[in-house]
Amino acid sequence: MNKIFNPKPETWSAILKRPTQTIDDIEVTVKEIFKEVQKKGDEAVAKYTSLFDGAKFENIEVSKTEIEQAISTISEDLKNAIQLAKSNIEKFHSAQKTTKVEVETIEGVNCWQEKRPIQKIGLYIPGGTAPLFSTVLMLAVPANIAGCKEIVLCSPPDKKGNINPAILYAANLCRVTKILKVGGIQAIAGMTFGTKSIPKVYKIFGPGNQFVTVAKQLATQFGVAIDMPAGPSELLIVADDTAVPTFVASDLLSQAEHGIDSQVILVSTSKTLIEEVEAAIQSQLEVLPRKAIAEKAIANSKLIFVENDETALELIDEYGPEHFIICTKDEDFYVRNIGNAGSVFIGNYTPESAGDYASGTNHTLPTNGYAKNYSGVNLDSFTKSMTFQKISEKGIQNIGKAIEIMAEAEGLQAHKNAVTLRLKAIEDGK
């Protein structure tokens, strides 16, 4: 890891740069595949599934038989773990429900707001070397709580044309309505335009690599909403001498093993801790099954020493981490003042992996600095707010004159007339 001591603020931007490709490197490929899927539908989807995943098959929809077979292969221990996680996720997201907001803004003018579910949603679940069945829970559980009618799940198949059994088990448990063996850019394009096999959806959720991220952003140009432009995973830990070095190292490695383009950063007011964490990383790295991946991610990561908590906080807010762990004596300072982070983990016994799996919070979070202006996925992500109003005769009399004056000032005479006619009718009725 790269050790940096007391970096000057003017260098922070360069030091904290993410190890990602620029959109220009990827956009051309994404646009070409989108055009082909839009024009040729399932034919294009099959072509790119064969090209990228090495899989060929007739029907991309997962059958009931395949789901039943997958369920039979899952151990009882894993089933119980998934059900525990699902229960906690349900509790946390159910608590986010809000009641109707209603107010009489002036006598006779009643306004209210109600939530409505997004009717058709698409879930993208990464497969490959790390099949993220936990993401199924994080997305399908709140979708069901919100009342979404159609939940379409896309996940890349292996070379034999199968989806990881744990993904199928979780999807079935969470009442996903359609499961499709398709991944990458072609999956996002399919849910954007709709094909014979892939339903068109209104909003797409789920993490992915940089190609999937750019594909989701392109989907917004065709009237489809997305949860956020989430890309490679990242973690920043702030720690001092009260932190346990082996714990800190394990958390840094837990994110580093996601992919070679993941980034992990330690910010500390203790040079001693930095040295101890670096040693612990090397020791723990040796026994990881995904050592080769983690090593490459670690090469892009940083150990940064700063003199005090105030400087650390300023640097962290500049970075805007997806995951932010606080292991300091004055943890309240960071909890009170942090402005930019996707999800915050506090104390030596709160590993980031708890949020990834079973504590109940959502792990679909903004990356690449988007924590400065995006929230992580929550119950409201699956709903939209609708406003209502009902105005009585007294109400239109109370606000009518103001509407007339404002409409006339904007040169919108028909707007004014819509009020004038009503006020005259009330007056004539008397």
| Residues 6 or more apart in contact with residue 189 via CB below 8 angstroms | 33, 34, 37, 38, 44, 45, 215, 219
Q: In this structure, are residues 139 and 377 in contact, taking their beta carbons and an 8 Å threshold? A: yes
Q: In this structure, are residues 184 and 205 in contact, taking their beta carbons and an 8 Å threshold? A: no
Half-sphere exposure of 105 (CA within 13 A, CB side): 15
| Residues 6 or more apart in contact with residue 59 via CB below 8 angstroms | 197
Catalytic residue (one of 276, 278, 322, 352): 322
Task: For residue 356, say whether it is annotated as part of any ligand binding site.
Answer: yes
Q: What angle do CA 400, 404, 409 make, to 5 degrees?
A: 150
**In terms of Cα–Cα distance, which of 320, 57, 37 is closest to 198?**
37
Task: For residue 319, say whether it is annotated as part of any ligand binding site.
Answer: no
**In terms of Cα–Cα distance, which of 210, 256, 225 is closest to 383?**
225
User: Could you confirm whether 102 is annotated as catalytic?
Assistant: no
Task: For residue 413, say whether it is annotated as part of any ligand binding site.
Answer: no
Task: For residue 255, say whether it is annotated as part of any ligand binding site.
Answer: yes
Catalytic residue (one of 257, 276, 278, 323): 323
Q: What angle do CA 201, 206, 207 make, to 5 degrees?
A: 140
User: Could you confirm whether 323 is annotated as catalytic?
Assistant: yes
The sheet carrying 225-226 orders its strands as 178-181, 150-155, 120-124, 203-205, 225-226
Q: Which amino acid is at 370?
A: Y
Structure tokens at 212: 């999937």
Task: For residue 374, say whether it is annotated as part of any ligand binding site.
Answer: no
To the nearest 10 degrees (0 to 180), the angle between helices 23-40 and 210-219 is: 60
Binding-site residues sit at 124, 186, 209, 233, 255, 258, 323, 356, 410, 415
**Which parts are annotated binding residues for NAD(+)?**
124, 186, 209
Binding residues for substrate: 233, 255, 258, 323, 356, 410, 415
- In the annotated binding site for Zn(2+), the residues are 255, 258, 356, 415
Catalytic site residues?
Answer: 322-323
